[in-house]
Homo-oligomer: A and B are copies of this chain.
Amino acid sequence: MSGGLLFDPATIRALAEILRDTELTEIELVDKESRIRLARQLPAPVIAPAAALPPMAWAPAPAAPGAAPIGVPPAAQVPDDEHPGLVTSPMVGVAYLSPEPGQAAYVSLGARVEQGQTVLLIEAMKTFNQIKAPRAGTVTRILIESGAPVEYGAPLLIIE
């Protein structure tokens, strides 16, 4: 194979060394004709269950009634959290999907939005703050209900 990628023991040893030195857990090289993948598990942690989670064993703080996104520990949050199109709350307050009760929502699922377009309101300290779309795109998820309390960083919408 071109360049002798496959199976060259010296290459594999070299890659393995890199893997170890750099504390990587996986290296994968692929070209047209071949693929090489090295992986290792980290030395087993002493406290196995603590490996992925904070070590304390307390139960997560229960959320307040009617305050769904409040008090949920980060570990329990949905993977939507890391979605590149995620719009999060820039403040603590109460989120509203429409300008006033009974009126139409700013956006609905599947709607096309322009950059800078108001997508919802957050009321904080009796002030209504317009939350604007950071980019143009399609609203693929609405993660809150109108009137829900939101904390800083709370996931609001996904615009793709």
Contact = CB atoms under 8 A, between A and B. Distances in A.
B24 A16 contact: yes
A22 B19 contact: yes
A38 interface: yes
A63 interface: no
Interface residues of A, number: 50
A18 B13 CA distance: 7
Contacts of A55: 46-47
This chain's copy number in the assembly: 2
Interface in A5-27: 5-7, 9, 11-27
A45 interface: yes
Given A1-B3, A28-B37, 20 more contacts: A1-B5, A3-B7, A5-B6, A7-B11, A13-B18, A16-B22, A16-B24, A19-B22, A25-B39, A25-B40, A26-B37, A27-B37, A27-B38, A28-B36, A42-B44, A42-B45, A43-B51, A44-B51, A45-B46, A46-B54
